[in-house]
Amino acid sequence: MRRAAPMPRAAIVSPDPSNPAGGVEWVCTLLAGVLDRQGWLVDIVGPQRQPSRWQSRLGFGYPALSRYSTEAIRAQRQLDLVVTNGFLGLGSPRGVPRVHLYHGTMVSATKAEAGSLPVRERVRRTVGASLTEALAGRTATRVVCVSEAVAEEVHRYYRVRCDAVIPNGIDTDVFAPRDMQQARTRLGLPQDGRYALFVGRSERRKGSDLLVEAVRDTGYELLIAGSSGAPGVRHLGILAPDALADAYAASDCVLFPSRYEACSLVVLEALACGRPLLTTRVGWMKTFLRAVPQYEALCIEPRVGDISARLRALEDIDSAPLAADARAFVLENNSLERWSEHWRGLLEEFESPTVTRAPRRSRSSLSS
């Protein structure tokens, strides 16, 4: 009797497999689902331990963390594919095909955080993390970036060629327009309020340091959905997807003055929910604005004065057609179905367990 072929095995290296709340971790979870539906046995692995204090002080913390993240898969046999992310990639098993995914670059992220980081940490990130990130991509079988802007950065800083640009995807059934009054009721918000919503971590890179002063005296109350709030604002906490969709619907606008993004889930979610989004021209937004140039009317600079002025002028802007055009673009290009389709196409070449290191194709043949 003929034996069935063994199921191919894959491992995905995540910064934190136990917590899919972060953007990178959530993408790892979604990608595991794509592989599972294609008949792969998938493990999501992460750091087995943390670098020592002296490793971090001497600048070896990031390379060490990368190797600690791949310890679990080095012990495995018969792996057919490894997927790594960011600076996590060094130490992957030799001879096993590997897809490396860039969610941005540490160089640009460090520049955006420069004002809030000690000099020593900036050096560690710029040298240790960036070198680790570059080597992780250079030794991969295929390199994927989440936006055209990231592909350009990866080539500029690391001299790594991107094989495919696959923007992030979101659940456009959950993140869709909802009734504002009902959403406010579910969140316990007064119906007569005017709300500007910020979603994310309190990081300088995301422009959180600008929020309170920028919103002051504009007539809006600032809502924050994330792990930490700020004095004088309404803190909604970390919200599950359905409640987060309510937060978008309950808000008069979404405020996201980020200094650096690759392909922000917050941006995609806000646009899919049909809310006016005041955000900066960074990362994936550059691609979006080429397709929907009229959305420039809602774009801002990460400066208090510019944000305040745009908030005050928002009532005079007919944002409904802009929101409709934006949602249509996200539905066509950034749904989970479209995202899964792109990844399935990329992963087809690895479906045979005998694949080792296929010749790299040009970026144009794989880009979305």
Please report whether residue 174 resides in a domain. no
What's the pLDDT score for residue 352? 56
Write down the residue that tokens 């367990």 correspond to.
353
Please report whether residue 2 resides in a domain. no
Domain containing 51 equals: 9-169+336-365
What's the maximum distance between 2 C-alpha atoms anywhere in the chain? 78
d(CA 145, CA 163): 8
Q: How sure is the predictor about 367, in pLDDT bands with cuts at 50, 70 and 90?
A: very low
Please report whether residue 82 resides in a domain. yes
333 or 17: which leads in pLDDT: 333
What's the pLDDT score for residue 357? 41
What's the pLDDT score for residue 192? 94
**Would you state the structure tokens that stand for residue 300, as one six-digit string?**
């801002």
Residues 28 and 83 grouped into a single domain: yes
Residues 329 and 184 grouped into a single domain: yes
Q: What is the pLDDT of residues 155-183, one digit of tens each?
A: 999 999 999 999 999 999 999 999 999 99
281 or 49: which leads in pLDDT: 281
Interior/surface letters 276-292, b for 16+ CB within 10 angstroms, e for the rest: bbbbbebbbbebbeeeb
CATH of the domain at 29: 3.40.50.2000
**Neighbouring C-beta atoms of residue 77, cutoff 10 Å:** 6
What's the pLDDT score for residue 4? 55
What's the pLDDT score for residue 5? 58
pTM of the full structure: 0.88
**Neighbouring C-beta atoms of residue 50, cutoff 10 Å:** 12
d(CA 231, CA 219): 17
Q: How sure is the predictor about 63, in pLDDT bands with cuts at 50, 70 and 90?
A: confident
Residues 140 and 162 grouped into a single domain: yes
Residues 102 and 71 grouped into a single domain: yes
What's the pLDDT score for residue 368? 33
Q: What is the pLDDT of residues 83-93, one digit of tens each?
A: 999 989 888 88
Q: How sure is the predictor about 72, in pLDDT bands with cuts at 50, 70 and 90?
A: confident
Let me know: does 12 contact 83? Beta carbons within 8 Å: yes
Top-ranked range on mean pLDDT: pick from 26-35, 202-211, 277-286:
277-286
Q: Does position 114 have pLDDT exceeding 90, yes or no?
A: no
What's the pLDDT score for residue 99? 95
Give the CA count within 13 Å in the CB-facing half-sphere of 30. Answer: 21
Residues 291 and 201 grouped into a single domain: yes
When mean pLDDT is compared across 189-198, 235-244, 346-355, the lowest value belongs to: 346-355
Please report whether residue 38 resides in a domain. yes
Which residue, among 226, 231, 238, 192, has the nearest Cα to 215 in the 3D structure? Answer: 231
SS (H, E, C) 134-182: HHHHHCCCEEEECCHHHHHHHHHHHCCCCCEECCCCECCCCCCCCCHHH
When mean pLDDT is compared across 61-70, 97-106, 347-356, the lowest value belongs to: 347-356
Residues 238 and 110 grouped into a single domain: no
Q: Does position 239 have pLDDT exceeding 90, yes or no?
A: yes
Residues 206 and 114 grouped into a single domain: no
Total domains in the fold of the chain: 2
d(CA 187, CA 50): 38
Q: How sure is the predictor about 356, in pLDDT bands with cuts at 50, 70 and 90?
A: very low
Please report whether residue 175 resides in a domain. no
Please report whether residue 68 resides in a domain. yes
Residues 247 and 357 grouped into a single domain: no
Q: How sure is the predictor about 359, in pLDDT bands with cuts at 50, 70 and 90?
A: very low
Q: Tell me the helices (H) and strands (E) count for the chain, helix number first.
A: 16, 11
Please tell me whether residue 18 adopts helix, strand or coil conformation: coil
Please report whether residue 4 resides in a domain. no
Q: Work out whether the CA dihedral 136, 140, 145, 150 comes out positive or negative.
A: positive
What's the pLDDT score for residue 3? 52
Residues 322 and 343 grouped into a single domain: no
Q: Does position 358 have pLDDT exceeding 50, yes or no?
A: no
Residues 258 and 150 grouped into a single domain: no
301 or 52: which leads in pLDDT: 301
Residues 279 and 292 grouped into a single domain: yes
140 or 115: which leads in pLDDT: 140
What's the pLDDT score for residue 360? 38
Residues 234 and 313 grouped into a single domain: yes
Q: What is the pLDDT of residues 10-56, one digit of tens each?
A: 999 999 888 777 788 989 999 999 999 988 999 999 888 888 888 87
Please report whether residue 316 resides in a domain. yes
